[in-house]
Structure formats: C-alpha cells, structure tokens
Chains A and B, each alone.
Chain A
Amino acid sequence: MSNIEESKFEVQVDPVSIAPVNPRLKNFKDFYGRLRKNKAALVGLYVLIILFFISIFGYLDTIFGFTGVNSNATNLAEKLQKPSAEHWFGTDHLGRDIFYRVLHGMYITLGVGFTATFLAAIVGVPLGIISGYYGGIIDTIIMRIMDVLLAFPGILLALAIVSVLGGSTFNVTIAIAIGALPQFARIVRGSTLTTKNLEYIDAIKALGARDGKIIFQHILPNIMSPIIVNTTLFIATAILSAAGLSFLGLGVQPPTPEWGAMLNDGRNYMYQAGHITFFPRYDDRYCCSCI
C-alpha cells in the first residue's frame, strides 16, 4: 500500500512493448511488478524465503541432528534460564533450549501456513474459475456457499472446524485452508469474469475452442498474477492463524515445538522468566511483515 511508488510522475509502460512477450513471462513480470510496487510485500517475500530455508535446515536437524541438540529433551536443572551464550534465547520451564525449539518448530509453523494456503489455492482457484466462467446457477450456488463461510469472521471458522475434528497439526491445516477458500474463490472469480469478457476470448470461442482449452490456455495464465500475489499475502495470515489456534491449545499439541503452543506453555512462567514468551514470537513477527 506504499504510495511512494505511485507518484504521478511514474513512467507509464508502453503497452505495445509488452505485447509480443510470451504470456507466461509477461505474467511473471506483471506479478513481480505488482509485488515490487508493494515494498512491504516484497520484503515480506524475501523474509519468507529466508525463513523457509532456515526452517528446512531446522527440519533436517531434527532428523539428522547436525547440531546434536534434542529440543524436546528436558533438563530440569537448567530450567527458566535467562538468555546466555550457551542458551541464546534462554530455556523454558522444563529446561529446554528455546533457541533450538524455535529453530526446530519453525518448519511446523511455516509448514502449516504454506500447506493451508496451498490447499486453499488448489480448491479455491477451480471453484472461482468455474463460478466466473460458467456463471448462472453454478455461480450462485458456489458464491452463496462462500458467503456462508465468510459469515464466520477470522479464526472462528477454524475454531468451529477444529472443535469438530479435534486439534492436531493436520486438522489445523485443513481448518485454515477452508477458512481461506472464500477469499481465493472470490478473487479468482472476479479476475475470471474480467478476462472472460475480453474480446480475444470471444474470438477464440468463435473459432470453436473447447471450454477446457480456453480455461487452461487463455484464462488461467491471465489470472495467475492476482492468484500468486494473494497466495503470498495469505501465507502470513495462515501462519498467524495456526499459531493462534495452537496458542489456544486447539492446534498443534505439545511437546511439538510449534511457536503458538510454546507461547501458551511459556505464559504460565512469564512471571519468573519473560524471555520465554518473547523469543518464540520474535521471528514470527518478521516473517509476518509481508501482510
């Protein structure tokens, strides 16, 4: 939403110079161009990519043990220590090293965010395209269902779903994905409607192209950039929701070092050691700056 780039002296890109470019390349450029205009989103994307690699390292570490630290092993002798050279972020109430728990928990938190967003996109995009492309009764039905889902604000839908399915990493992912569906379906539907009415789609139809071909070869490439931007932006929201659910004790269950769950664990000991609650979020804050 940064307006600095939107100064009226901005050089307008000559539409003719874009025209001959391969549509996929154009879409990537379009996407990158949009993202670059939104500096916050761009920074967020970079941070996400970096965190993604750190989280992969964290994940591999839990399997292969490069660092030789078991972040779930308790050591009551060292509980609730302040940050030090040995324990960078200190230790929690069971003497577990918070730095390693943050590191090892990262892939879970990020994983839920990425997976949920991905699932929402996989289901939401076709729904949106069908709704926008075919219109009529199908459109009405799909969009009414999306309206119903939208009637549950924020985390409430995920709560309702988790209350049915029970709390686990998988269920939280599903719950967040369902919550994100309407957003994807609506954006995709809107873009599809715009694209569908372009003259060249009419021309292709007049040539006798089948719906499937039109959708995959002509509509999908055109609506890729809003989809990608929305996906990028939603990952952060998904991460927040996942952490929120775990924090409420309804998501990922202890002792898995998920960040939200760690916060929930830590808050009971805040009085003695504030660092426990501070650090698990410290990273997350940056990773969510891409909203």
Chain B
Amino acid sequence: MTQFIIRRLIQLIPVLIGVTILVFSLMHLTPGNPAVIMAGESAPEATVKAIEARLGLDKPIHIQYFNFISNAVQLDFGNSIRDNIPVFDHIKARFFTTLELSVWAIIFGVFFGLLIGIISAVRRYSLLDVSLMVVALFGLSMPNFWLGLMLIQYFALELRIFKPTGWGSLEQNVLPIITLGTASAAIIARMTRSSMLDVIDQDYIRTARAKGVKERVVIFRHALKNALIPVVTIVGIQFGGLLAGAVLTESVFAINGLGRLIIDSILQRDFPVVQGAILVISVSFVLVNLIVDISYRMLNKRVDLN
C-alpha cells in the first residue's frame, strides 16, 4: 500500500510540471506583450518597462518559469494587476466558498444519487425505476446554468422561498447546491443502479440469502459495499469536476467564489489572478484524484493482488 502511494506520488510529478508549464504559458501565449496589456495601450514606454521589470518579464523565459514555480510553491502568485493585492489573498478568501459549495454539492449528489440508485436497483424494471432513471437522464442533460436560472425563476423570484444570489445563509445556499449537485446526483444514481444490478446477480448474494440473511441486510450489507467500489471512483471524479463546474454556478448566483474570480479576471485581463486560480483548482483536482485512487485501493483489496 505504501509502495502504491509512493508510486502514485512519483507519477504526479510530471503531471504537476506539465500543469505549471501550461499555466505559466497562459500569459506568454497571449498575443501581444503582457506588460503593454497591463499598462494599457497608450502607456509610456517607461511604465511598460517598469512593469516588465516588476514581473520579471525581461528575464529569459526559463528563469521566469523557475521563478514562477518557486514562488508558486510558496503560494506566491504575484500581485493582482487590478488592485495590487497579492493574488493568494484573493484566492484564499474565495477558495473556501468554492470548496464549501462543492462539498455541499457532492454531499447532495451522493445522498440523492445513492438513494435513487438503490431504490431503482431494488425495484428494477418497475415504473418507479423507469421514472427515476428518466429524471436522472434529464438531470444529466440539463446544463447546470440553465437549471440554476430556472430555480431562481421559480423558487426565488416567483415563490420567494430562497434568495436568488449570494452565499452564506441557508436561503442563499440551497439553490446553488441543487444547481451544482444535480448532475452529480444523476450520474451517481445511474452508476449506483447499474453497479447494484451487477452485484445483485452475483453468486455471493445468493449465498447470503441462502444463509437466511434478511433482504434489507442483503441489500445494504452484502450488495451495497461491493456496489460502492465503482461508485467511489465516480464520486471522486465528480468532486474534482464540481470544483470547475462551480464556475458556472457561481456566475449564475453571483457567488464570490474561485470560479467567478477566474471569469472576472479573464474579462479584465488580470493574468496573475487567472494563473493562480487555475493552478489552485487544477492542483486540487489532481490531489482529489490521488485520494480517490488511494481510497479505491483500500476499499477494493483485491486490486492489490493484480
């Protein structure tokens, strides 16, 4: 197991290097001189030079990259062009909002996903199963920003149960969580159902029944634990995806999260912030995937053998 974790950590290195190179090049691939863009088209040459010097843009590219990495490791992504506040402060303030939103969304997704998946599997081919799966299909097909807008329309503007924007209070949080979590719930439900159906037909389920185990125990103890193995992977992937999916949800509900920070910064060409935020999200995503991989190993001990 330790060996496996070490191997996975080593595999992570080239990926992280690639990610940093890509994020680093964002600024340099942009047509035009970034310093000019920051200073504005009509800025005097001296200002441009000053910005170049401050950002280290006058140095050779590999030195710049090296500086970028060594700073990034210390969580220093430079200062925002807009307000000159350190990028990390911007990110720190919003990262937890996005994280909170994503965590609640995945909890929502896992809860309803498992619930619907199990019900569907237990009552397979029944009308209930078919209707639940049709609902899941719609949940999957809807773009989440559209769903968000519809929820605002009916629950915030017409029924006035929840607030249409912001994050923090219960009446603000419910709609974004549903918006972000629905697609995950749908995917988890479908996965749980098909995984449960696979497991329910297995010989060891019959063995359990032959032992006199109650049906409820058969489903929740014998079947579910096996069925969860593929579901855990999906949940992990979903959670990583939610960090990014939050971009749209935050935009719909005007939540001050990391996603919205990225969008605003892109629109205002605030490159250091874009770089920092994208780096933080993708590194979190990679780490989440690593954790998923490891927990998958722990759950499914049989993999060890192969």
Contact B15 A151 (CB under 8 A): yes
Say what secondary structure dominates the interface of chain B.
helix
Contact for B267 among A155, A249, A263, A274, CB less than 8 A: A249
Option from A156, A250, A286, A288 in Cβ contact (under 8 Å) with B281: A156
Contact A159 B143 (CB under 8 A): no
A144 adjacent to B244 (CB under 8 Å):
no
A4 to B140, CA, bound (A): 19
| B152 interface residue per 8 A CB criterion | yes
Given contacts A163-B274, A285-B138, A285-B141, contact A155 B149 (CB under 8 A): no
Contact residues, B187-218 vs A (CB, 8 A)? 190-191, 193-194, 197, 201
**A248 pairs with B157, CB closer than 8 A:** no
Given that A154-B244, A159-B262, A274-B157 are known contacts, is A289 also in contact with B282, CB under 8 Å in the complex? no
Interface residue from A240, A250, A267 paired with B143 (Cβ < 8 Å) = A240
User: How long is the Cα–Cα vector from A144 to B14 in the complex, in angstroms?
Assistant: 7
Which chain B residues in 11-51 approach chain A with CB under 8 Å? 14-15, 18-19, 21-23, 26, 29-30
How far is it, in angstroms, between the C-alpha of A250 and the C-alpha of B268 when the chains are bound?
12
Q: Out of A151, A164, A243, name the residue touching B285 (CB < 8 Å).
A: A151
CB neighbours of B140 from chain A (8 A): 291
Whether a CB of chain B sits under 8 angstroms from the CB of A277 is yes
A155 / chain B contacts, CB cutoff of 8 Å: 244-245, 247-248
| A contacts with B, residue count (CB < 8 A) | 44
- Hey, which chain B residues are within 8 Å of A122, CB to CB? none
Q: How far is the CA of A154 from the CA of B274 in the complex (A)?
A: 16
* Beyond known contacts A155-B247, A162-B266, A263-B146: 11 more, CB 8 A cutoff: A1-B191, A3-B193, A148-B22, A151-B15, A151-B282, A152-B278, A152-B282, A247-B248, A260-B143, A284-B143, A288-B141
Q: What are 18 residue pairs bridging A and B, where the CB atoms are less than 8 Å apart in the complex? A: A8-B201, A40-B137, A145-B18, A147-B15, A151-B286, A153-B282, A154-B245, A156-B247, A159-B278, A162-B266, A164-B30, A244-B145, A248-B248, A249-B267, A250-B266, A270-B153, A285-B138, A289-B138
